[in-house]
Chains A and B, each alone.
Chain A
Amino acid sequence: MNWSWSGFFGYLVNPFILGGVWTTIWLTVVSLVAGLALGFVIALMRRSSSRPVAMLAGFYVWLFRGTPLLVQLIIIYTALPVLGIRLSVVESALIGLALNEAAYLAEIIRAGIEAVPQGQVRAGRAIGMKERDIMRHIVMPQAFKIIIPPLGNSVNGLLKTTSVTSVISMEELLRRTQVLIQEKFMVLELFAVAAIYYLAMTTLWDLVQRRIEAHFGKSSAIGAAEKR
């Protein structure tokens, strides 16, 4: 097998590939934000005292975690039009990723909320706070700290999972890599370039995550270091 260094370095700075990198990034960011919002709602629904509401949320998580994203995307893109719902590639990719991510994030968020001791909720009630305010000022800030590590893990996974949208021809990094491979046959060089960009993105995210963890770990870190 031939390896072409000039091919490798050429594709490393190829605008077509860089465009794919950019698409991967915004696909990740948008589906993460949408997935977080939806995941938060589903987490609250799962904790609802109304059984049908909790069961609906449980069903959602069961369905989207129990089937492959690949299948979900194909259904959204090719089967929904049969029902008269026609979505573009970008819409299908974003919706599929967000719906799928929401199921995982809902479980992470729920676990975070449940890890905050019940005594904290009682303390909030005892000073007259409404349930909504307790969630906002007392539970969520503490839950968020617990959520960050698994959330970071999930973002790392999502960065790579976006590549699955290539099956519905979403032009993200992997799809564009494959397009070039079909034209130029530089299989190893191009996949190596793609791998390097995925690595760069996940590494960058790692750094961001560490920053966030350090920021939110403040109160307990100080406590541990300075306690008399």
Chain B
Amino acid sequence: MIELNNVSKWYNDYQVLKDCTLTVERGEIVVICGPSGSGKSTLIKTVNALEPFQEGSIRVHGMEVGAPDTDLPALRARVGMVFQSFELFPHMTILQNVMIGQRVVLSRSSSDAEAQARRLLDRVGMADHAHKYPAQLSGGQQQRVAIARALAMDPMAILFDEPTSALDPEMVSEVLDVMTSLAKEGMTMMVVTHEMGFARRVATRMVFIDRGEIIENCPTEEFFGGTRNPRTEAFLGKILNH
């Protein structure tokens, strides 16, 4: 469903992604981890073309992401994204946040969009907050709304870019719970995160990336049980042993 082939990206002379190759099948939950600055966020942002890349190819559901004639808005409407900083629209209510894409991009009727929005807000446990503005919500609540906003477009996959990194510790689990239930329902997900507990429980496959290179790409059990590359070992040692 999502195929990256030898993707490379440079910022001027600095290479942020080196020959990254990765396939995500339908229903897979792929967790991407790595040190900060390793290129993991950049990597998933190339999938919905929020970040351009210079070499290689990315195919999403048969669409060639890098091709100049690809309808990027249409592609992005099919691939949801959840950001580290939530990025809800502050001038709209929660309900409007979840409706806007359906109205403007999918041209759904107001009543259809509202029904879908309310159903999804209920699913992420935010139905009672539909009338509020984002500034009235906690970080965990905002992130759950952001997930509902992504789901509202009926995406075939969702990209999560460090969805819990900006949250206070007590709010992390409410967001991970929503993501876990999505995973159980068969949503295809690419998740950049440091939450190794979540990864161990939910991920079908683990990717470790360091200095723009994919070092490890293996099933979850193997990643946490088997023998690992020394660089992976060093990274896990740092984030697991405290």
A126→B135 contact, CB < 8 A? no
Contacts of A125 in B (CB 8 A): 50, 72-73, 76
Contacts of A141 in B (CB 8 A): 91
Q: Which residue of B lies closest to A136 (CB)?
A: B104
Is B224 in the interface zone, CB < 8 Å from A? no
Is B34 in the interface zone, CB < 8 Å from A? no
Is B90 in the interface zone, CB < 8 Å from A? yes
Of the four ranges (under 10, 10 to 19, 20 to 34, 35 or more), the interface on chain A belongs to 20 to 34
Q: Which residue of A lies closest to B149 (CB)?
A: A127
Contacts of B149 in A (CB 8 A): 127
Q: How far is the CA of A16 from the CA of B212 in the complex (A)?
A: 76
| Size of B's binding interface in residues, CB under 8 A | 32
Interface bits A116-159 vs B (CB < 8 Å: 1, else 0): 00011011011111100100011001100100000000000000
Contacts of B48 in A (CB 8 A): 126
The answer, among A120, A145, A222, for a CB contact under 8 Å with B136, is A222
Is B138 in the interface zone, CB < 8 Å from A? yes
Is B85 in the interface zone, CB < 8 Å from A? yes
Is A68 in the interface zone, CB < 8 Å from B? no
Contacts of A145 in B (CB 8 A): 91
Interface bits A191-228 vs B (CB < 8 Å: 1, else 0): 00000000000000000000000000001101110111
Q: How far is the CA of A36 from the CA of B129 in the complex (A)?
A: 37
Q: How far is the CA of A220 from the CA of B92 in the complex (A)?
A: 10
Q: How far is the CA of A220 from the CA of B74 in the complex (A)?
A: 32
Interface centre among A122, A128, A220 (most CB of B within 10 A): A128
A222→B76 contact, CB < 8 A? no
Contacts of A138 in B (CB 8 A): 89
